[in-house]
Structure 1
Amino acid sequence: MLDIISYILSFFITIPIIASLLVYMISMIWERNKLKAVHKMVAWTTCFYIIAVSIMLTLIFGRSFTGIILIFLLTLLSLIIFIQWKTKRDVELRKAVRILWRISFLLFFFLYGCFMVVGIIKQLAA
């Protein structure tokens, strides 16, 4: 049973777009609201994209970038909290984390696409 779960997680980390589509379709059936379905898709699949980009960076460049990714995410969260503090004088950590998660989805979704193209070109050139 544990093997099946690890295979499913590995598959979704390798191809997170399928996980996104699956979560979106399930959310559409459950919620019947496109906007809520998109928000659930972003919330549930961002982690897959972050891990996939980290693995792709390791495969393309031959070294781990996990620490740099974590520092980048913490810096981005600090920036979001600072902007919240400057504009509203009241920091809402839950809202800041939600904004970070959505920005991370957009960024890592874009990076996943770019690194997929780079990886394909690198394999074709070799």
Structure 2
Amino acid sequence: MPDIIIYFIGLIVTVPIIATWIVYLISMKIYRHKWKAVHNAVNWTTILYIIAVVALVNEIFGISFFGTILVILISIYTIIVVAHWKIYTEVIFTKAFKMFWRICFLLFLMLYICLVLIGIYLRIFY
């Protein structure tokens, strides 16, 4: 039984699209509102995409980019906070973090898809 749980967690971390879909379906049943379900799925699975991208980069290229990704995340958040400050003259950190989290979802979703395609290409042809 513990092996099944470990394999399930490994599957969810390595294929976060499945987790996003599951969270979306559950949220759709609870909220019965499409956009609330989408936002809930994005909020809960962003961290899985970040972990999956770190794991894929490590697997494909053989080096860890964890520190680089951490610096990129901090830089993105800093840019968003400064933009909020310039536009609204008062920074509301919850709104800034919400925007940061959604941008991270989109960025890491695209990176995940690109890395999966690169990984498939490299495994087939090399």
TM-score of Structure 1 vs Structure 2, range by shorter chain: over 0.9
Indicate the SS of the match to 1:63.
coil
Identity of aligned residues (%): 45
Equivalent AA in structure 1 for residue 95 of structure 2: K
1:92 aligns with 2:99: no
Structure 2 counterpart of 1:36: 36
The CA deviation string for residues 20-62 of structure 1, in whole angstroms up to 9 with x for no partner, is: 0000000000000000000000000000001001111111111
The CA deviation string for residues 65-106 of structure 1, in whole angstroms up to 9 with x for no partner, is: 011111100000000000000111101111111111000001
Detail structure 1 runs of 4+ shifted over 3 Å in the superposition.
Answer: 1-7
Pair 2,84 (structure 1): closer, same or farther in 2 beyond 3 Å: farther
Indicate the SS of the match to 1:94.
helix
Structure 2 counterpart of 1:67: 67
5+ long unaligned stretches in structure 2: none
**Counterpart-to-counterpart distance in 2, 1:97 and 1:2:** 36
**Counterpart-to-counterpart distance in 2, 1:114 and 1:103:** 17
Equivalent AA in structure 2 for residue 17 of structure 1: I
**Counterpart-to-counterpart distance in 2, 1:40 and 1:59:** 29
**Counterpart-to-counterpart distance in 1, 2:8 and 2:29:** 22
Normalised by the length of structure 1, the TM-score is 0.95
**Counterpart-to-counterpart distance in 1, 2:96 and 2:109:** 20
5+ long unaligned stretches in structure 1: none
TM-align CA RMSD: 1.3
Pair 89,2 (structure 1): closer, same or farther in 2 beyond 3 Å: farther
Structure 2 counterpart of 1:17: 17
**Counterpart-to-counterpart distance in 1, 2:91 and 2:78:** 11
Aligned length: 126
Shift of 1:8: 2.7
Structure 1 counterpart of 2:111: 111
